[in-house]
Amino acid sequence: MTKIKKIAVFTSGGDAPGMNAAIRAVVRAAIYNKLEVVGIYRGYQGMIEGDFIELKSTNVGGIIQKGGTILLSARSEEFRTKEGREKAYNQLINHGINAVVAIGGDGTFTGARIFTDEYDIPFIGIPGTIDNDLYGTDSTIGYDTALNTVIEAVDKIRDTACAHQRLFFIEVMGRDAGFLALRSAIATGAEAVLIPEVDLKPKDLKQHIEQGRTRNTGGNIVIVAEGDKYGGAFEVAEKVKDDFKNYSIRISVLGHIQRGGSPTCYDRVLASRLGVAAVDAILDDQQSIMVGLMNNDIVHVPFNKTIKNKKKIKPQLYDLVDILSI
């Protein structure tokens, strides 16, 4: 294998709080190990176009607390083509880059796996997505921050729900996974939650809401994952409105507020650990793997596994919503 002298780092896909902390960790761990570091702007598209910048320790000072990503993010249709990947490879070779750290989700890792199958430049992945839907890691960068953002928003909405005796359907992100919705439902004391992994029909919501009504809380909260099979909050509310004629129904879609903001302590530490682990993996001649965290230990998961395997919801967590809504 080529001796590693210079590495690159980029962010791709949806931004997540803590990506900057991960960039910082990669850069400083690389410098600590006497490696040069290049940042790639705009993900795979920037790789194709050669939109690179040399990164020193000073470039990543004061960014650990910032949301978003200083390297920007973009999706690249061109990278899906063999011609696009060849352009990206030539750019990496022309800049003397021996290995790449990719921070993102399964789309990012899918691109990295295909690229490493075609070319001899190792890629190491760092899981960065608020959805927490990547197999092989207990938590992804940005998930904890997004959870806390959702909790703060729902707590405020509940104040209004109680004051006006309203039923709120609150839609949260997560794409086709319900991790964000489920944990936020538990943490906010929601009366019910709809997630893609569990087939709770909208018509069955009435029982859950009536249970909440017996406590005379005055307001009720239903958390809806955006990827639920019955639709988002607007669609679900429309399906059940005739069952709740005694309620004033309101809908809130939290949207992209969940992706922004300063990362929590947990996400900053997680990003720092994974950033250093990614550089260690490169120096250990690893390639085509994701560095993750399982039971608080760093693990290496092949891209094939993290892409092909579906991360599962724990049934015990879903049962908590039922138990605690009594």
- CA distance linking residue 22 with residue 71, whole number of Å: 11
| H or E element at residue 306 | helix 303-308
Tell which residue, 189, 226, 227, has the closest CA to residue 208.
189
Phi (first) and psi of residue 266, to 5 degrees:
-60, -45
- CA angle centred on 282, ends 280 and 61, rounded to 5°: 60
DSSP 191-247: SEEE-TTS---GGGHHHHHHHHHTTT-S-EEEEEETT-TT-SHHHHHHHHGGGGTTS
Phi-psi region of 258 (alpha: psi -120 to 50; beta: other; left: phi over 0): alpha
Task: Calculate helix-pair angle for 106-118, 82-94, nearest 10 degrees.
Answer: 80
Residue 249 amino acid letter:
I
Active site residues: 131
Bridge partners of 225, per DSSP, are: 172
Q: Which positions ≥6 away from 7 have C-beta within 8 Å? A: 26, 30, 35, 36, 37, 38, 97, 98, 99, 100, 101, 279, 282
